[in-house]
Structure 1
Amino acid sequence: MASSATRQLLRGSVTLDDAISGDDNILRKLQYPEQKQRFWTSLADLDAPGNSDEKLRTEIATYVWLEENCPDVPIPTLHAFGFPDGSMFTHPENTPSITHTLWQARKWMLHLLGWSAPSRYVRRTRQNPLQDGYLILSQAEGTMLSLSWEKHRHDKSYRERLFHHLANITLSINRSPLSRIASLTMQSDGCITLSNRPLGLHFQMLENEGIISGIPRQRSYAAVESYISDLISLQDNKILHQPNAIHDWDDGKGQLAALTALRAVMHTFIRPEYRHGPFFLTLTDLHQSNIFVDEQWNIKAIIDLEWAHAKPIEMQVPPYWLTSRAADGFNDADAIAEYDAILEEYLAIYAEEERRRNGVVVEAPIKRHVWKSGSFWYFHAVSIPKGMFNLFNRHIQPLFNTEHPDVSIFDEVFFWYWGARARETITAKLGDKEDYVDRVRRAFGHSTESSEAIALPSGQDDAEIIVSDKELQL
C-alpha cells in the first residue's frame, strides 16, 4: 500500500514512497532543514573538510581572472573578499590611495624580479573578522533569462540576440588558453594559480554527500584521457559509497556495464590532435538562471562562476538546455531533431562571430563535430553521474550496436569487466539498499519492514557472496 507520509526538505517535501524509490540519498537531504543556518558555510566541510574554502577561492579567482583577461565579459563587480585564514582584499577603488600605491609598487618589484605578481586586488593589513570566507559582489543588471525563457525561446529574433552574446562570451574567454585541465584558485598572497583540481558542481555535490572522489585538490591534468579516467572513477566511488546507488540486480549490472563501456570506448570520442590541448576556461554552470538579460535578451550579466574550470576544447560543449531539456532528457528522435535545428542556428552565429573577431573559423567546426560524432553525449555521461546510465543507453551504445540497448546480453557480459569483484559488489550494494530503506522508514516514523528478498544470480550460494564494505575494491 502506498504511503502518504511526508518530510520537509530544504526546498519542498518528499513522500516516503518517493524517498525509497528515488536515486538521491534522501537521508542526507532530510538533515538539511535542521542545519540550514550553517548550510552555506560549514555544512559542506562535515564530510569533505576544506570544500567550502576551495569553492570560495576558485570562484574569486574566476571573477578576478575574467576582469583582467576578458573585460568584455559581463560579470558583477567584485568589491572585496576574505578567507578564513584572516587575509582580506579590496578592489582598488575601495582602497585608500597610499595603500593602493604601496601594493602597486610591490607588484612592480615582484614582476621585475620574475616572480609571480598578485592581482590588482589589494591585501589589507586588517584581518578578516569573520570565521568564514566571503566575497562582496555588485548587483547583477537585468533579469534572469529563466523568467522569460518559455515566453520567447521560440522567437528567432530573441534567440539570435542571445546566441550572439553567448558566442562572444565564449570567444572572449578562449582568447586566453590555459596550460592544464584545472581550476583557477586565489592564494592568500593575492596570486592566481592554475593549481586546483577541476572543480565541478556534480563533483563537489558527491563529496558533500560523503562520497570519496579520489581526486586530491592539487591534482591537475595535462591530457584528456587521465581527466576522463578520474571522472569515471568518481562514478565508481558513487556506486561504492552511496547506500542506495543500486536498486536491483539488473540495475547493478546495467550501471557497471555502462561504466565499463565508457572506459572501453573513450578513444573513440577523443581526437589525438586535441589530447593535450588547447584548454580553455569553461563556464560549466551557465544556464538560464545564471544569465541576466534585458527585455530583448541581450546579456547584461552572468553569475555563479564557482564551477568554472579549464577544460579541453572538445569538452567545451554547446549548451544542452537550448530546447528546455536536461542533458539526459532527449528521449526520442523528435527531441534530438529539434535540438539539432536550434544548435545549427547557434553554431552558424558562433562561426559568424568567430570570423569577425579572429578572421578564421576554428572553434565552430569543432563544436559541430562534437555534436555530430556523439562526443556530446559521451562528455556529458562521464561528467554527470545522475545522467550517466540514460545517456549511455540512449545515445552512446546505439552508436556501436543498435540492438544492445534492448537486450540483456550486453549487460550480462560487460558488467564482469568493471572489476574483479563486480558480482560481489552488486550483492553488497543490495544489502546496503535494504539497510537504507530501513533507515528511511525510521526517519519517516515507520517501523521497519522486511524488504523483498534479494534475487541471487543462478549458481551462486548465499555464503559465497557475503562481503563487507572494506572488501569492496576495484
Structure 2
Amino acid sequence: MFPEEKLRNEVATIRFIGDQSTIPVPMIIHSGGKREGPLELAPFLIMEYIDHHANMIDVLKTHGRPLDERVSINQEINQTDLETLYRGMANVILSMSNLSQPKIGSLCQIDDFTWEVASKPLSLHMNELVRLGTLPQSKLPTTTFDTASSYSEALAELNISHLISQRNDAIESADDFRRKFVARFLFRRLIRDATLKAQWIRSESDHGPFPLWCDDFRPANVLVDANLNITGVVDWEFTYTAPVEFTYAPPWWLILERPEYWRAGFHDWAAEYQKKLDIFFRMMIDCEEEAIRQGQLAPESQRLSNAMRRSWESGDFWIMYAVRNNFAFDSIFWTKIDARFFGKMSDGINICDIWKEIHGKACEYEA
C-alpha cells in the first residue's frame, strides 16, 4: 500500500544490515522510485542473485499436501537438520538484536556509513490494516517514537480505529461489536495503567535502545545451501526499530503455522509449539555461548534465551503477538490476555460472553 516508502525503507535496511552485521543479505545494485524507472511503472529494486540450494521453508514443511492447504512443519524431519536450521535462524535473530537505535521507526541512510531513524515505523500490520481493514491512511502514525509505551499506545489506538473503520461485514452482531469494543479498550488500559504496564513493559527498556525488528522474518525468506547453512536472508520490507519486548518474544514460526489458523485451537498450538521451542532455546544458547567466546556478547545481560523463556512463560509472548496481528487480536485477547490482567472468568461462562462481566468496568475506567 506504500510502495515508495516501503522501498526506501527496505533499501536503507539492507544496506544497514550489510554494513553493521554478518547477516548475509543481497548486495543492492540499483533502486529507484516510480519516476526513475524506464517506463515509470513502479518503484524498483535490483539485487544480486544469492546462490542457494533451497528455501528454508521447503526443508521444514510437510510435503505432498494439496496446494490449497496451509503449510505445516514436517514432524518427521531429521533432528540434526532441524537443529541446524534453528541454529542458523537463532544466529540471525541474535545479530539483529544487537542492531539498535535510540528511537522507534524506519531507517534512513544519511551517507555511506551513517543511518538514523528518521520516519515512522511502517509495519506489515499497518499495511494490512489499510489493505484489508479499510483503515484510512490518515489514521496511521506519522512520527517516530521515543518510548515503547508511546508506540504500544499508538498500536492500541490503531486497533480501535480499525474497529470503527472496518466494513460492517466484519461484525457478526451487536454483541460481537461490543465484545470487540471492550477488548480494545481493555488492551489500551494495559498501557495507560502504570501498574498493569509494568508487568509487561520494563521501565529499564521503555526508553530504548530499540533493536531492529522485521515483521516478515521467517523461514520462507531464508535461503540455505545443501548443508542447510544460511546463504541469504531476503525480503526486508516492513523492518524497523521496535520495543525490545518484540525481540524478547520467541518466534511464532517454529512450527510454520500461525496460532490463529491452528485447527485444534490455541491450547493445542501451544503444546506443539513448546516441543519445538525447547529445541530452539538450546540452539539459541549455543549461539550465545559462541558469541560470548568471541567477545561479541556480554555474558548475561545480552542473552536472548533467558528473556525469550520469560516472555513465553509469563504470557508476554501473546501480548506481543496480539499487538502486531490485529486480525488475530480478539481471540488472543480473550483466550490469553484477559484472565491474566483482569481476573478469571466465572465457572461455566462461554468465552464469547466474558466481556459482559467486565463491560461496565471497562467503560467506567475509560470514562
TM-score range, shorter chain: 0.7 to 0.9
What does 1:41-440 correspond to in 2, within 5 Å?
44=1, 51-70=2-21, 72-84=22-34, 86=36, 129-131=38-40, 132-142=42-52, 143-151=54-62, 154-186=77-109, 192-209=115-132, 210-212=134-136, 214-217=139-142, 219-243=143-167, 244-266=169-191, 267=197, 268-316=199-247, 317-329=249-261, 331-357=265-291, 358-361=297-300, 362-400=303-341, 401-403=343-345, 406=350, 410-412=354-356, 414-415=358-359
- CA distance 1:130–1:178, shift in 2 (3 Å): farther
Q: Per-residue displacement from partner, 1:310-357 (whole Å, max 9, x unpaired)?
A: 112211122112123214246253431221232122122212211321
Gaps of 5+ in 2: 63-73, 192-196, 292-296
Deviation at residue 84 of structure 1 after TM alignment: 4.1
Identical-residue share of aligned pairs (%): 24
Q: Is the 8 A contact 2:157 2:188 kept in 1?
A: no
Look up the equivalent residue of 1:351 and give its one-letter code: I
Higher relative contact order (CA 8 A, sep 6+): 2
For 2:351 and 2:332, how far apart are their aligned partners in 1? Answer: 17
CA root-mean-square deviation: 2.7
Q: Is the 8 A contact 1:78 1:136 kept in 2?
A: yes
Give SS of 1:265's match. Answer: helix
Q: Which residue of 2 aligns with 1:109?
A: none
Rg larger for: 1
- CA distance 1:407–1:351, shift in 2 (3 Å): closer
For 1:67 and 1:191, how far apart are their aligned partners in 2? Answer: 13
What count of residue pairs does the alignment treat as equivalent? 330
Give SS of 2:223's match. Answer: strand
For 2:112 and 2:362, how far apart are their aligned partners in 1? Answer: 44
Look up the equivalent residue of 1:76 and give its one-letter code: P
Q: Is the 8 A contact 1:197 1:215 kept in 2?
A: no
- CA distance 1:156–1:402, shift in 2 (3 Å): farther
For 2:360 and 2:84, how far apart are their aligned partners in 1? Answer: 50
For 1:159 and 1:387, how far apart are their aligned partners in 2? Answer: 28
